[in-house]
């Protein structure tokens, strides 16, 4: 069996920075450390952080009562209102928002102040997108498919600013952009799909097309990993989504085939290695 691992598989810069910083802070701090929601979308990592003492805060009620504490902001960012509450309550904020996401916050604020109607191509229920939307001071819309475009309350000659969730499927995003350009005269667009996401998506296409089997590794709640799986499935029908080493035991792979491996931006290296060890042992 030949196993080819994508060069871009695993932690991206923003996730590695956040995880390394969180572990360092927990190890050195003598006080309780809090995070607003899970730091990243990988249960193995977030579970280990909780075991080491990181306290996740997920409810609005708990957030508004949090005062004079050390608080980590997750990689996906948080709503502006939540950030302002934390600040006004005299919390020490360690902002580990991915720099690509922070850039989108600034772009939305800037263009909404200039009177643009904002369109975000992404998942409205994803924490990153909820945070992005909160920085708008004018009308903002979130779309993910052609049906959503039909619901837009925007005039043909309105100023329109289009951005993407950082982990959006680039192929789907381009299709929606092409439709939007036909509908509106005055469109400004900034491609905010992060470099790591784009490189990983481009790489998985090539890998899936060249291999008999594709393994996509990551958590089921990871948006960018799900996108990788969807793309890989187009080019390789025998594509499997693996969230744990245990999942590898259920695989049925011909020992003579070529196996490609990709992993989401929040997938730790040790999980990739553990899964591949199981695959090699099983086949």
Tokens 């187009």 appear where?
234
Spatial separation of the C-alpha atoms in residues 141 and 89, rounded to whole Å: 31
Sheet holding 33-36, edge to edge: 54-57, 33-36, 70-73, 92-95
Tokens of 136: 């708008």
Contact 128, 105 (CB under 8 A): no
Widest CA span of the chain, in angstroms?
A: 61
Of these residues, 27, 61, 81, 128, which one is catalytic?
Answer: 128
Q: Decide: residue 256, CB within 10 A, 0-12 exposed, 13-18 middle, 19+ buried.
A: exposed
Tokens 């001071």 appear where?
137
Tokens of 176: 């929606």
Contact 85, 147 (CB under 8 A): no
DSSP string for residues in 143-185: ESSHHHHHT----TTS-EEEEE-TT--HHHHHHHHHHHHHH-S
Give the β-pairing of 70-73 and 187-189: unpaired
SS3 label, residue 137? coil
* Residue 128 annotated as catalytic: yes
- Known catalytic residues? 128
């Amino acid at each position: 069996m030949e196993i080819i691992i994508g060069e871009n598989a695993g932690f991206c810069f923003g996730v590695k920075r956040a995880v390394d910083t969180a572990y360092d802070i927990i190890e050195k701090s003598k006080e309780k450390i809090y995070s607003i929601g899970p730091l990243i979308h990988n249960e193995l990592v977030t579970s280990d952080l909780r075991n080491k003492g990181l306290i996740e805060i997920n409810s609005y009620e708990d957030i508004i009562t949090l005062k004079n504490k050390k608080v980590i902001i997750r990689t996906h960012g948080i709503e502006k209102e939540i950030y302002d509450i934390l600040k006004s309550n005299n919390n020490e904020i360690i902002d580990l928002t991915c720099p690509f996401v922070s850039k989108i916050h600034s772009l939305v604020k800037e263009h909404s102040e200039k009177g643009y109607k904002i369109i975000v191509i992404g998942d409205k229920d994803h924490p990153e997108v909820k945070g992005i939307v909160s920085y708008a001071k004018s009308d903002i819309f979130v779309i993910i498919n052609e049906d959503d475009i039909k619901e837009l309350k925007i005039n043909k000659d309105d100023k329109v600013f289009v951005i993407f969730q950082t982990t959006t499927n680039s192929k789907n995003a381009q299709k929606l952009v092409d439709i939007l350009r036909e509908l509106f005269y005055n469109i400004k667009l900034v491609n905010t799909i992060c470099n790591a996401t784009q490189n990983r998506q481009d790489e998985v296409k090539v890998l899936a097309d060249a291999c008999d089997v594709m393994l996509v590794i990551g958590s089921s709640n990871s948006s960018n990993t799900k996108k990788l799986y969807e793309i890989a499935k187009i080019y390789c029908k025998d594509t499997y989504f693996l969230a744990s080493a245990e999942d590898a035991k259920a695989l049925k792979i011909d020992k003579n085939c070529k196996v490609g491996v990709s992993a989401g931006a929040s997938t730790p290296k040790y999980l990739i290695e553990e899964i591949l060890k199981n695959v090699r042992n099983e086949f």
